[in-house]
Structure 1
Amino acid sequence: MMKSEIAVTIVEINGTKHLSVQPLGYVDDLSKRLYRLGYFTFDVDLRRWLARFDEDLEAALHQEFTGDRHVVSESVVRQDDPPRRQFTPAGAKSVPLSPHWADALRLTEEQLRVKRYSWRTVKSYLSHLRMFFIDHNGLQVDEITEPVIRRYILRRTKSGSYSASTQNQLLNAIKFWFEHVEDHPKTFVDLRPRKPSDLPTVLSVEEVRRLFQAVDNIKHRCILKMIYGGGLRLSEATNLRIADVLSDRMQLFIHGGKGKKDRYTILSQNALDELRVYFQHYRPSYWLFEGQSGGQYSVRSVQSLFRRAVQKSRVNPYATVHTLRHSYATHLLEQGVSLRHIQELLGHESSRTTERYTRVSNDEKRRIISPLDRLDTDEE
């Protein structure tokens, strides 16, 4: 098997050294592995990953990627001349931050990493804060007050599509910076949007059956059956390791689920039978579901195969992969499983989250006779 090279470059950007990482071929889970070493940010224009230079980080980078499948390129380029453009993380405006805001962003990043926030949360918080800081580049920290934040949010909401969850995320990012970096007392900004009372999309048992029948590939079918059969989140399914399948106990071990919490959920006998056939054909080495070149099966690949299955089976066109998890919970509830047990299987922290499935369950509703139908009975 050919090794995939990774070009490592040391560049100086605005007087600060950075490690630049550029894959020269396919590299398994590159973004996650880089994040574990140190927070790298992908630059869309330069098409490479960047992080502040650190000798220990550079050594760890070589150790991480020098192995059977990957090798760090020996032609390490050392560039002392700054690039022509100001570096900013992907998704942010190319506007230089004032020094005090640049320090605030860096300190926030460090605090997020120390507290072991997920890489998705780190990326999201820093993106929100960078845009907020850019918008208030001329202000000092002590000039950021609740009215300032309120006006900013109002401008953002009026500018276009700005969902309630995005508004909450922005407030959480500002709140984290205020409390954990600037050491302000707990800040509760009264700008939380009303939580929408949306009902989860759920497939019927017959629709789930048709969905599985529309998938010919054994690996693809196994992935979807594991999600539905265990009520898994998409990331939990792609993070499954072979060792997490406890067939003797008919359980799945979910390692580091949402909120970094472990849990056990049920292993379906139907899914286990399919898994055994899948193993004979694919022989995965570590991850339960691996890509063509090894490594974890990607989230986007699962979303793509699910979309094809939805179109072929003609089930609810608004269904997503997460709909399988909603359907699992609803169908358990209709079977008479208690809400408490469903909460544990799904890994919900609050019982209120689980209780919403009582609003989509059809079991009780089917027993209700419409008053219109009784009119015909009474007339007879």
Structure 2
Amino acid sequence: MRFRTTALVAAAALALAPVLAGATSPAAATAAVSSCATLSSGQVDPSGTPRAVAAIAPAGHLVTGYCVQAGSAAPVYVDLAAPVTWTVIRGAAGIAHYSYAWVATDSTEVVEPGQEPSVPDEAPELPSTPAPALNPWDWNWTYAAPTCDALTVRYPANIPAGQSNDVNIRFNSNLGRTTFNYHNNEGTWSGTTSFPYAQHPAYPTSGLRWFTVEWIQVAGTNYHWQGALNCLVGSDGKAETVDAPQAVTSISGFNTSTVKVRVGTTVAADTVVLANVDLSAVVLQRWTSGRWAAVKTVAKVDGAIKVTFPRETRPGTVTYRLAAPDTDFVTGAVTKNLVVKVVKAPKKKRR
């Protein structure tokens, strides 16, 4: 799986070190009131503003939830439906900072001879971040689209009691079609709850190469998500790293034909639809001196965008393409080529 975890694990270890040693992280000490609580990890300020990061529990522990602050928005606290060894934290507007909570597990605790067994710590309780109350109540409330690692539901603040204890997610994969059911035997979910696929007992532990999320039902709403979220699965073969699915990047609508324009004019603009670019820069490239050179960045987000081209200043053949790089969470994509034949304008006839 193309999930480059070496840097992520190292970053997580650095973030955890002061917490496990009983110290307070500098970021947490200076955090504003509206920032995420430190939880178990301490506040982590990632390099840049990534759209997704990995939250990895230290050995003998499981992640139970997290807080994320994206852009200038208020912090959002997310409970996991069940504890996991790792999860993905996402912020659509780019993650400013985050923190996450964990709890010790007795089954993975290793006690050396003559060492007193440690008392399992309890995960910090996460504040609830429910969706705004619906007034009047509406059974057609919606939730965010799934990602390749989890479905995250932000339940309305005034959802009726007993209406949020089931979630069903239908998968189609190289191993066949199945539906994951998440059921809360102890009550109902509320606030913001994440349902990581890898924690479900029916999630394949081997042989899974790809899957598509096709349909989702969340108890408490009449809205059912339907679509085709394509995810690529693989492994780097290293037990010490975390492998997570990558969303398959797609770029559709780019003109890949051969066109002819005159010197001094431009190629007609394209309307292109982007999916799963993960805040990476989608770049218009031109073949120059035996290599692809960037002309300009056209977008960093999913959706429909307009691609314009530079003015052609000399006759000859020019080749363009769009390229979206791969990341830890998306596959990236490159379009086929647009070939532009630039010709001289005809000379005006003398009268």
Q: TM-score, normalised by structure 1?
A: 0.23
Normalized per residue, the structure richer in strand is: 2
Question: Which one has more relative contact order, counting CA pairs under 8 Å at least 6 apart?
Answer: 2
Normalized per residue, the structure richer in helix is: 1
Q: TM-score, normalised by structure 2?
A: 0.24
